[in-house]
Amino acid sequence: MTCIVGFSYKKKCYVGGDSAGSEANNGNIAARLDPKVFVRNGYLFGYTSSFRMGDILQYICPPPEVKAAKISLREHLIVHWIPVLREKLKAEGCIEIKESKEKGGTFIVAYRGALCTIHDDFQVSAVIANYCAVGSGYMYALGAFHATSSLDMKPKERVTAALSAAAFHNAYVREPFTIIES
């Protein structure tokens, strides 16, 4: 499990993630060297669910093309990238199909001040707030973002506070944290 957070401030995005790698079936947890957040083609990604899915997102699936200014990030991902992602995940054996329904994984995509969450059924949600979180520690991170909204903190400080709250309250979230920006 994990905690991945996204934060948007003044047309800039920040995505942060922890370093936990865990196995839910036996409780094994270890810090991993490979970060769960990365940049491709100007897009920030942060993933949970599967390290294999993360590998595909980072190295195999073509990243989204540059988004036209006239459409939202959500629309751009739905129309132009999710079909490509689904096919690539299928080709790489990283989609679970049960009762004719496909299940992938959950991750955050950020681009030029916009944040979206891609859920395991490939729905794309745009957030109302200027922050989002996924993974087992997401509730704590959201609470920290909300609690710090009226404080005079820099964006990276708020991202770190959100991840720290998740790590303090959830056994499957741990340092070190990686924070990227674009």
Region 155-171: mean pLDDT is 97
Confidence label for 62 from pLDDT (cuts 50, 70 and 90): very high
Q: Residue 45 is inside which H or E element, if any? A: strand 43-47
pLDDT in tens, 77-127: 999 999 999 999 999 999 988 898 999 999 999 999 999 999 999 999 998
Among candidates 86, 70, 69, which has minimal Cα distance to 78? 86
pLDDT in tens, 28-48: 777 788 899 999 999 999 999
Helix then strand then coil, % of the chain, to nearest 5: 30, 30, 40
Among candidates 138, 139, 90, 96, which has minimal Cα distance to 121? 96
Among candidates 121, 81, 91, 87, which has minimal Cα distance to 105? 121
Beta bridge partners of 49: none
Does this model's pTM top 0.85? My answer is yes
Confidence label for 24 from pLDDT (cuts 50, 70 and 90): low
pLDDT for residue 25 is more than 90:
no
